[in-house]
Amino acid sequence: MEQKTRWNLTYWLTAFVLLLTLQDWWQTSRTVEPVPYSEFEQALKDGRVAEVLVADKILTGKLKSPDPKGKTVIVATRVEPDLAARLSEYQVPYARVIESTWLRDLLSWVLPAVAFFAVWFFLFRKFAEKQGMGGFMTLGKSRAKVYVEKNTGVTFADVAGVDEAKAELVEIVDFLKNPQDYGRLGARIPKGVLLVGPPGTGKTLLAKAVAGEAGVPFFSISGSEFVEMFVGVGAARVRDLFEQARAQAPAIIFIDELDALGRARGVGGPIGGHDEREQTLNQLLTEMDGFDSSVGLIILAATNRPEILDPALLRAGRFDRQVLVDRPDKKGRLDILKVHAKKITLAPGVDLDQVAALTTGFSGADLANLVNEAALAATRRHAQAVELVDFTVAIERIVAGLEKKSRVLNPKERETVAYHEMGHALVALSLPGTDPVHKVSIIPRGIGALGYTLQRPTEDRFLMTRADLEHKIAVLLGGRAAEKLVFGEISTGAADDLARATDIARDMITRYGMDEDLGYIAFEAQRPRFLDVPELAQGGCRVAESTQARIDAAIRAIVMGVFERATAILETNRDVLERCAQELLRRETLDEADIRRLTADLKPAAPAR
């Protein structure tokens, strides 16, 4: 509507300018070049003038016949006082002409005013667009985009990997299509459904699928679009949004990024610094209390930070149902890959199950990006279809970063990196229950990675024992152990490994209670989880200094004990380490088959004490 109004205004301004141009051209075409008064008087004496029109300063004479130049009118710019007597003497009829200047005078002050207003209007519109206002008349209007069934292009068939969340929303769609079936036993549909989960897991996609399936008006708006620089605008937009939705019920309202609007009141910032946002939130709470879900009005919202939402939003009667949209498991990743693989040319022999196994922890958005990167990799090598090697390249690019071919290491650094990476790989291969090593490379990637060891999980893990966590720490410390064993000194290359190993050891002590001496006690506040609204943590561990010293000692004991075990594994397999490191230096990259061949005589790790 706004675009149409803008075009109409442009058409009117263009037509007005063209009209003024045509009028000026017409007047110019009628203008006759003045002649000297003597020539005009001579024409009177010769009897060639048929009629004279007398204005204030101009004489216009109509000739009886055209002169040699083809003129039928002559004009003089001089009016004599005795002109009337002389015209009577020559027996030439004359008439007085009164010039009308009101239009010219009107335009002389109207046109500058119009030009000034046009410039002011243009500049204000530009400022308003940059500020996101869209003009004073639209400040309190809702900016929700309205979709119907044919517009979104997304259905539940396009959503995979989140079957439980999809089932919840299928029920919502069924209610909107058949409300009488759900109300026959006195049940009512939830007023609001809150979709929570990490970024990229498909919350907005699920909402669009609801719009594509329901066939009812679907109002979509972001939480940040309610808040403006003017106080009261957000609350007015909330009221306008609900008025529009009620007028078109049954309908669905979808608020994306709800945390931008629904942050807990009275937390963070100085007093009075969040009045506009809090007024907007209060209006939303009031509107959610003031409508009856039986009319067919349902609110969907999405957020990846539910722990900061105001508790009043999450109580029963507002967002009755909270649906977790989590990262997919292996089966879910496979289903998502199948959906996105339909959009590319896939080679017949590609096993997407292997790709799903390599992508533990990937969200739906990550998998969509992975498929696109694999297609780009196949395009770069001028292939006819996307193969498994392209998916491997894409995973390496996403996980480890882009290859830095311009970063040239000196021979000493290359050797150190080779032994470091093979230390990771051999420790991982020696310990039971660790993920298989898929690839080892000393090609620099990303911002600071001089090499990498890629492991491929065989299954998703949801519980881990102390032994499992110690094995993860051992693999992380395998690089530092190899450097110390071979070169007798250590480098800065293990900085990230040490930080991750320390974090795991700290969690073992302070969160999981895995130290017998300290007891089964959690010394650290529970980290925020989805579908929870925990109180804000006021700091780290709240323990006595003596207990903190024991915690630090327990963490150090875990890390150093595991480091000694990793060193022992590499000492036992020193010949395998040397062979693999030299082969890695020669080829720069070893795949799973190469590693299996080179480590055929690898001795397993001794049982932990």
pLDDT band at 524 (very low <50, low <70, confident <90, very high): confident
Reported CATH class of domain 411-598: mainly alpha
Spatial distance between the Cα atoms of 135 and 467, rounded to a whole number of angstroms? 64
In CATH, the architecture of 330-394 is Orthogonal Bundle (1.10)
Q: Which residues are annotated as a binding site?
A: 197-204, 420, 424, 497
543 versus 122: which is more confidently predicted?
543
* Bond prior to 250 in cis (omega within 30° of 0): yes
Position 354: which residue type? Q
Pairing assessment for the beta strands 437-441 and 59-63 based on DSSP bridges:
unpaired
Q: Which residues are annotated as a binding site for ATP?
A: 197-204
Q: What is the CA radius of gyration of the chain?
A: 41
pLDDT band at 535 (very low <50, low <70, confident <90, very high): very low
> What phi-psi label fits residue 267: left (phi over 0), alpha (psi between -120 and 50 degrees) or beta?
beta
Q: Where are the alpha helices (DSSP H) in 55-101?
A: 83-89
* Active-site residue (options: 421, 470, 483, 583): 421
Residue 530 confidence (pLDDT) above 60 = no
Crossing angle of helices 466-487/545-572, nearest 10°?
60
Bridge partners of residue 346, in order along the sequence:
386
> What is the predicted pLDDT for the residue at 289?
77
Kindly state the percentage of the chain with pLDDT values over 70.
Answer: 70
Crossing angle of helices 411-430/545-572, nearest 10°?
100
* Average pLDDT along the chain: 77
Residue 125 confidence (pLDDT) above 90 = no
Digit-coded pLDDT (tens) for 190-223 = 778 888 888 888 888 888 888 778 777 888 888 7
Name 339's Cβ contacts closer than 8 Å, sequence gap at least 6: 158, 160
128 closest CA partner among 118, 139, 143: 139
Average pLDDT (520-525) is 81
> What is the predicted pLDDT for the residue at 249?
76
Q: Are the folds of 145-324 and 411-598 the same?
A: no
Spatial distance between the Cα atoms of 83 and 89, rounded to a whole number of angstroms? 10
Task: Indicate the domain borders of the chain.
Answer: 1-29, 102-135, 145-324, 330-394, 411-598
Bridge partners of residue 300, in order along the sequence:
193, 254
Digit-coded pLDDT (tens) for 137-183 = 444 444 445 544 446 667 787 788 888 888 888 887 887 777 677 66
Rounded alpha-carbon distances, angstroms, from residue 536 to 268, 311, 409, 529: 11, 13, 46, 12
E-only strand ranges, 198-296: 218-222, 251-256
335 closest CA partner among 369, 361, 368: 368
Digit-coded pLDDT (tens) for 285-330 = 888 876 666 667 788 888 888 888 888 888 887 888 888 888 888 8
Q: Which residues are annotated as a binding site for Zn(2+)?
A: 420, 424, 497
CATH number for 145-324: choose from 3.40.50.1370, 3.30.750.24, 2.40.100.10, 3.40.50.300: 3.40.50.300
pLDDT band at 268 (very low <50, low <70, confident <90, very high): low
Give yes or no for a contact between 223 and 269, defined as CB atoms under 8 angstroms apart.
no
Name 569's Cβ contacts closer than 8 Å, sequence gap at least 6: 426, 427, 430, 431, 474, 478, 481, 605
Print the SS3 string covering 548-581.
Answer: HHHHHHHHHHHHHHHHHHHHHHHHHCHHHHHHHH
CA atoms within a 13 Å half-sphere pointing along the CA-CB vector of 355: 30
Spatial distance between the Cα atoms of 356 and 518, rounded to a whole number of angstroms? 40
**What backbone torsions phi and psi does residue 142 show, to the nearest 5 degrees?**
-75, 140
Digit-coded pLDDT (tens) for 60-105 = 777 777 776 666 666 666 666 666 666 666 767 766 666 555 555 5
Digit-coded pLDDT (tens) for 360-386 = 888 888 899 999 999 998 999 888 999
Residue 403 falls in the annotated catalytic set:
no
| Beta-sheet strand order (sheet of 49-54) | 73-76, 59-63, 49-54, 94-96
Q: Which helix (H) or strand (E) holds 75?
A: strand 73-76
- State the pTM of this model: 0.66
